[in-house]
Each structure stands twice: as C-alpha cells, then as structure tokens.
Amino acid sequence: MAPKHTRTMTPNDYCQNRASKSGSSFYYSFLFLPAKQRQAIIALYAFCREVDDVVDEYTDENLARIKLAWWREEVARTFQGEPQHPVGKALLEATDNFNLPQEYFAEIIDGMEMDLNDTRYATFKELALYCHRVAGVVGLMAAEIFGYEDRRTLDYAQSLGMAFQLTNILRDVREDCDRGRLYLPLEDLQRFNVSTEQIASYTTTDNIRALLAFEAQRAHDYYQKAFDELPACDRYRQLSGLIMAAIYKTTLQEIENDHFNVLQHRIRLTPLRKLWIAWKTARHEKKAHKQIQRRTKAADSI
C-alpha cells in the first residue's frame, strides 16, 4: 500500500486551527471576509489568543513574564522579517498587506502584563486603560484590515473594542474570580455597597444585581457610542465588526434576561446561534448597502 501523504501545517493553518477551535464569537464574523482580509484578521486573533493564554495558563508568574518577553521579541523579529513562531510567520504576511503598527502589538502585550501586575482596579479610569490595551487596540487593527475612508471609523473601532471587553468582564466574573481577579472597578462596588468577599462567595444579592446592571449599561453605552461614531461611508466595510457587535450584544442581553446570575454560571451562545446571528446581520447590512448604492446612483443620474 502506498504511504499516505499528509500536508504540512502552514502558519495560516495553525492560526485557522487556533481560531476555529476557540469557539470565539470573532470567528463567525471572519467567515464573510475576502481571503486576504480573513488571513490577516485570523493571524491577529491567533496572536491575541497566544499572549492571553500565557497569562491564563502559566501559574508561575515569573514563567509568564518570561513567555511574554519572548513574544515581545517575536514581534520584533516579525517586523524584521525573521519570525520563528507560526503566528509570527502568519503576521508577517498580514503586516505586508495592511497597516498594523509594531507598537500596537507591544501595547496588547502591555495589557496582558497588567494581568500579572494587578488583580483589582480601583477606578473605571484604570480599567479603561486595560480595556484599551487588550481590546481597543485590537479594534484599531481590525479597522485597518477591514478598511475605511473616514478616520472617524477608528473612534468607532476603539469604542467597540471597549464594549466587547466590558461584555467579557461581565460574562466572566466567576471565571476571573476563580483565578483571583476582579475587573469590576472597586469604586463601583463601593457605590452599590458590595464587598469583594461577597463577589467571591458567588452569591447574587440585590446589591450585586444592581452593580452588574450598572456595568451592563456602561457596556450598552459604549456600543451606542461606537454605532454613533461609525461613518455611513464605512459601515459596509466594517461588516465583520458589526457581526461581532450583534453576537456580543446578544450575549449581553442574555445575561440581563438571566437576571445577572453570572456568579452561578457563564452565559454561552451555541455555535449555531452565533452563525445564525452572523448570517442575519450580514444579510441585513448587505441589503442596506445595496439600497444606499441605488439611492446614490439615482441621485448622480439627476
């Protein structure tokens, strides 16, 4: 019998595998992109997963810092054209095709390193810096990959990244608490007369529900801010971001419908539901884009 030939996994295969296995909401928005953009955003996502996993999976803080330092060096090697890791090799192609500044990758790692330095945030201002680094900067790079005409789209992308991260924080309160972390600002706990010990007891009181409702509204405000900042001329280009927003907002609404019982269990959308939301959003935005094109064409012919 002739030996079977197995194809060697390419850097892009590695990143694709990373993205598809994660079950992330982001993956479903990538499906509607042209090949070059899809390759770049999946490589960026894989990079974020790699550095995030360093903080989550390495229980030894010194080892985690060494690993993050290695990734800083890998980013530098990538921009010198000499990456070693499959993700770095995939990013090399992405950075050739799109404006993805080296300092943005460094800032994402800075955000991950904050998790090693801080397990609590006294104020929302302090938390906002963390959210900007781990999500807002990713939003800016995603906007570069998706494309834009109006630079106000970058404001939209940054605000949307903030909204996503605030949704994640709300969804993952229990999981983060298990790791000894609390991202809800301590000033907010004080406002609603909630102690860190109450959060760690995983018992949802009326005060905790009021606190979580406050945090949910802050996330809603950032979604609205993002949508208000998105110029009409770039809306269809940013389709993938709008798909992500639809999935994340649905998760936020499910948390609210579940009466903020995030300390008891984690709210999850099924892959089929995420795919349905992605398809429905893409269909809606495509129809709206065609209507705008028809109106523009009619106006130009007058």
Does the structure show a pLDDT above 50 at 245? yes
- The least confident of 28-37, 126-135, 196-205, 251-260 is 28-37
Mean pLDDT of 63-92: 96
CA atoms within 13 A on the CB side of 73: 8
Q: Residues 159, 23, 254, CA angle at the centre, nearest 5°?
A: 60
Mean pLDDT of 206-232: 98
User: Which ranges in the chain belong to alpha helices (H)?
Assistant: 11-22, 25-30, 35-57, 61-79, 86-97, 102-117, 124-131, 137-146, 152-171, 173-178, 186-191, 196-200, 206-229, 239-257, 271-301
Q: Give the CATH fold of the 118-268 domain.
A: Farnesyl Diphosphate Synthase (1.10.600)
Residue 187 near residue 271, CB atoms below 8 Å: no
Does the structure show a pLDDT above 50 at 190? yes
Query: Binning pLDDT at 50, 70 and 90, where does residue 2 land?
Result: very low
**Distance, CA of 229 to CA of 60 (rounded, Å):** 42
- The least confident of 36-45, 98-107, 164-173, 289-298 is 289-298
Residue 258 has what pLDDT? 96
Residue 140 has what pLDDT? 97
Of the chain, the end-to-end C-alpha distance in Å amounts to 71
**Distance, CA of 273 to CA of 163 (rounded, Å):** 21
Query: Binning pLDDT at 50, 70 and 90, where does residue 31 land?
Result: confident
Residue 22 has what pLDDT? 66
Domain ranges for the chain, please list them.
10-99, 118-268
